[in-house]
Amino acid sequence: MNSMLFSPVTLGPLQLSNRIAIAPMCQYSAVDGLPTDWHTIHLGNLALSGAGLLIIEATAVTPEGRISYADLGLWSDDHADALQPVIRAMRRYSPIKIAVQLAHAGRKASTDVPWDGGAQIAPGQPCGWQTVAPSALAHAEGEAPPLALDTEGLARIRGGFVDAARRAHALGLDAIELHGAHGYLMHQFLSPLSNTRDDDYGGSLENRMRFPLEIFEAVRASVPQEMAVGMRISATDWVEGGWDLEQSVRLAHALKERGCDFIHVSTGGLSPLQTIPVGPGYQIDFAERIKRETAMPTIGVGLITEAKQAESILQQGQADMIGLARAMLYDPRWPWHAAAELGDQVFAPPQYWRSQPRQYKELFGSMRAG
Residue ranges of domains in the chain? 9-367
Q: Name the CA dihedral angle for 148, 154, 158, 161, rounded to a multiple of 10 degrees.
A: -20
pLDDT digits (tens, 9 = 90+) for 287-302: 999 999 999 999 999 9
What pTM was computed for the model?
0.96
The pLDDT score that the predictor gives to residue 362 is: 86
> pLDDT tens, 204-235?
999 999 999 999 999 999 999 999 999 999 99
- What pLDDT does 369 receive? 33
Give the percent of the chain with pLDDT over 90: 95
In sequence order, the β-bridge partners of residue 321 are: 299
**Sign of torsion over alpha carbons 218, 132, 130, 194:** negative
DSSP for residue 33: T
Residue 334: pLDDT band (50, 70, 90) is: very high
Each residue's pLDDT tens digit, 148-206: 999 999 999 999 999 999 999 999 999 999 999 999 999 999 999 999 999 999 999 99
pLDDT in tens, 243-286: 999 999 999 999 999 999 999 999 999 999 999 999 999 999 99
| Gap between the Cα atoms of 187 and 195, Å rounded | 9
| pLDDT value at 73 more than 90 | yes
* Residue 19 contacts residue 322 (beta carbons within 8 Å): yes
**DSSP structure string for 56-125:** EEEEESSGGG-SBTT-EE-SSHHHHHHHHHHHHHHHHH---EEEEEEE--GGG-SB--GGGT-PBPPTTS
pLDDT in tens, 84-143: 999 999 999 999 999 999 999 999 999 999 999 999 999 999 999 999 999 999 999 999
9-367 CATH: 3.20.20.70
Annotated catalytic residue 201: no
Q: How far apart are CA 203 and CA 290, in angstroms?
A: 24
Name the catalytic one among 28, 69, 184, 201. Answer: 184
